[in-house]
Structure 1
Amino acid sequence: MSLSIVIMAAGKGTRMKSARPKVLHKIAGRPMLAHVIGTTSTLHAQQQVLITGHGADMVEADMAKAFPEAPLRFVRQEPQLGTGHAVQQAVPVLPDEGITLILNGDTPLIQASTAQALVDACGGDKLALLTITLADPTGYGRIVRDASGERVLAIVEHKDASPEQRAIREVYTGMMAAPTARLKGWLSRLTNDNAQGEYYLTDVVAMAQAEGLAVVAAQPQDEVEVLGVNSPAQLAELERRHQLAQATTLMEQGVRLADPARFDVRGTLQCGRDVDIDVNCVFEGTVTLGDEVRIGANCVIRNARIDAGAVIHPFTHIDGDKDGVTVGEGSLVGPFARLRPGAQLGREVHIGNFVEVKNSTLADGAKANHLAYLGDATVGERVNYGAGSITANYDGANKHRTVIGQDVHVGSNCVLIAPITLGDGATIGGGSTLSKDAPAGQLTVSRARQVSLPGWQRPQKHPKKQGG
């Protein structure tokens, strides 16, 4: 049976107090709407229809870019006259058969299993509602059941509910699944005869009852799946709940987190055995940590693979971006180091404090321990790269490569002007600026002769004249 997914993402989000559309505010590094689309993409729907409104151009452009292969269609709700009016805008693009699943773009943590359970509960011949029992149901539509408690009779919006109905704790989450043909008929008959003068999607429940269609309910495994966001405070609360859930899962797998409340994954993080992560670390994109990796406090790591036994000392920034970063087994990085896209470290490489590496390969045992820059370089095994030394890889128009052979010793404060090659076993004297290749096995020095000038005096400041 064909499946269409409708995601409501038209709201302005006034309480967010932001020029950015509400559904583009981020949870775990991704827009809320992107979480929903990413989850529902696993359901293999024939189409996903996004209902946009406020900031529609921005929302549509961002989602089309984020999901170029997804079967996305966009319809607009202008003006916004309620949830029923929103789904009415999708009617022209919906088929006349199958099931339509309706979700919220500001409820980012819905799980695919829950969405599928809702579709299964519908089965093509029932109206299925996603409900949950909350300790504080304020603001949600209440689920009204018959005397037996088995049948759903209606959903009453909070603003229209009586005091008795507001005491009900089972609420409608805003998500449902319905036979598409029936849904299109119900939507055509909606009215705005209510306190807000809006077209409520929830009115389809009474219509289903009138037609003798069974109304059933499904519930998520966790409350966090159905919590929406309407304010920065709610966004922050949901972020922390989501991060704690990720931290708990990792700790159940054996990862040691110094404090799960100070830990963020904004992508995917895979860990081997006996991984140890200190506080305030952020993992973005795709990160893989091998067995016995240790991550110090206050590190940011994005799109990187860190192999077994490596230690990332505190305050290190690793950003692999599209090219990725690899840290080999037993390597030591940091503190205060920066690995940029294309940095590839072999086994037991040392990258020390205030060292930056970009688009460079360092072979096994190479060391750059202090205050250095390696850009567009190929570094051989056991190289010792001195403090304050840099590869001058950019001529103002093009990048050039530096090749450093194995067992090379580069002294402190050297400038290697690329393109240049240092032969195996070469030694470069401290303070040298090289623009030509250095031969293998020899000492190469390029610096001015030291001169001392007797009788020279340092300039003195002249006293200021007093005004008359």
Structure 2
Amino acid sequence: MLSAPSFFDLSDFDHRAIFQDTVPAWDALKMLKSYMNGLDYGLFCHEHLQNGVPLACPLIVHNGKLQTAEGCAITFGDATKGKLRVVREDQELSGASVIMAGAVIMGSRILLGKGVLIESGALIKEPAVIGDCTEIRQGAYLRGYCLAGKRCVLGHATEVKHSIFLNDAKAGHFAYLGDSILGNEANLGAGTKFANLRFLPGNVSIKTPSGVLDSGLRKFGAILGDRVQTGCNSVTNPGTLLGKDSLLMPNTTAPSGYHSPKSMLR
């Protein structure tokens, strides 16, 4: 009931190894740091990319190499639909990713997939893994240990730390996610907040049909299964687990604990 496959289809997730043998599913959060620390990030460096300094000119990443966008024509289509295009001297640079001027990168352990767009004003701290065709929008703040799959959106004024986005997960507007997991096609309404720390000392406890479980986590936000949706200005209490296809209605606070698939919280 609380295993990762009960929340997520992992068949197309490039980092499904982090969920291997995780029962309960939140054990993936305990493994996140060691997993990301063990990845090969290659050489993410360029003379125009200064640690913690806003980028003065746009850069592109093509075939694993950072280079300036000088002489390139960029079409800023919807990256999540594969419509970001980079052309240089009439030749399309297939799969090129774009880091716009004004973005801030802190550290070198950054892994970008193909067709990624990082907009001006985004701040990304290492380590971060950004999957193919993902958008990091203006004002997004990635505070470290952020792992995003394919076609995700980490949106305007959204803060994310120590969290996992499965494919097509979207937090487009004014959200906070800490120590949390979003399933495939999960979508957060504007202003959704995941509280991740109890007022009282101790680990976050999880209420389940079989009893209360100690998560073993001092900080634990929420787990949203595949296709879960939250309404605008909704909030989850620490240790909230929403099963597949559940709905959290606008202006609603979700009680902590396990909620079965197709639940509607209002």
Change (3 A) 1:442 1:264: closer
Distance 1:309 1:270 in 2: 10
Distance 2:264 2:117 in 1: 34
The Cα of 1:354 is off from its aligned counterpart by 0.3
Change (3 A) 1:386 1:277: farther
Deviations 1:380-415 (A, max 9, x none): 000011111111001144312411100001111111
Distance 1:378 1:264 in 2: 30
The Cα of 1:291 is off from its aligned counterpart by 4.7
Change (3 A) 1:400 1:266: closer
In the alignment, what sits opposite 2:234?
A: 414
Change (3 A) 1:387 1:264: same
- Contact 1:278-1:295 at 8 Å conserved across structures: no
1:56-205 residue pairs with structure 2 within 5 A? none
Distance 2:167 2:129 in 1: 13
TM-score normalized with structure 2 length: 0.59
Q: How well do the aligned residues superpose, as a CA RMSD in angstroms?
A: 2.6
Q: Which has the higher contact order (CA 8 A, sep 6+)?
A: 2
In the alignment, what sits opposite 1:399?
A: 219
2:49 to 256, 260, 264: 264
In the alignment, what sits opposite 1:441?
A: 262
Gap regions ≥5 residues in structure 1: 1-245, 248-262, 280-289, 446-468
Change (3 A) 1:342 1:439: same
In the alignment, what sits opposite 2:112?
A: 306
Deviations 1:306-363 (A, max 9, x none): 111100011100002xxx1111000011111011111100000011110111100000
In the alignment, what sits opposite 2:193?
A: 390
TM-score normalized with structure 1 length: 0.34
Confirm whether residue 325 of structure 1 aligns to residue 146 of structure 2.
no
Change (3 A) 1:313 1:266: closer
Deviations 1:202-259 (A, max 9, x none): xxxxxxxxxxxxxxxxxxxxxxxxxxxxxxxxxxxxxxxxxxxx64xxxxxxxxxxxx
In the alignment, what sits opposite 2:19?
A: none
Letter in 2 for 1:301: I
Distance 1:276 1:427 in 2: 43
Distance 2:129 2:152 in 1: 11
Distance 1:276 1:425 in 2: 42
2:121 to 306, 311, 315: 315
Distance 1:364 1:404 in 2: 13
1:381 to 184, 196, 201: 184
Secondary structure of the corresponding residue to residue 369 of structure 1: strand
2:251 to 425, 431, 439: 431
Identical aligned residues as a percent: 26
Distance 1:304 1:391 in 2: 25
The Cα of 1:438 is off from its aligned counterpart by 2.8
Name which one, 1 or 2, has greater alpha-carbon Rg.
1
The Cα of 1:266 is off from its aligned counterpart by 4.3
In the alignment, what sits opposite 2:140?
A: 337
- Contact 1:316-1:334 at 8 Å conserved across structures: yes
In the alignment, what sits opposite 1:12?
A: none
Kindly report structure 1 stretches of 4+ aligned residues shifted beyond 6 Å.
Answer: none
Greater strand content: 2
The Cα of 1:304 is off from its aligned counterpart by 1.4
- Contact 1:373-1:389 at 8 Å conserved across structures: yes
In the alignment, what sits opposite 2:97?
A: 293
The Cα of 1:379 is off from its aligned counterpart by 0.8
The Cα of 1:264 is off from its aligned counterpart by 3.3
Greater helix content: 1
Gap regions ≥5 residues in structure 2: 1-45, 53-58, 71-93, 202-217
- Contact 1:275-1:294 at 8 Å conserved across structures: no
Distance 1:264 1:276 in 2: 10
Distance 2:170 2:60 in 1: 27
In the alignment, what sits opposite 1:348?
A: 151
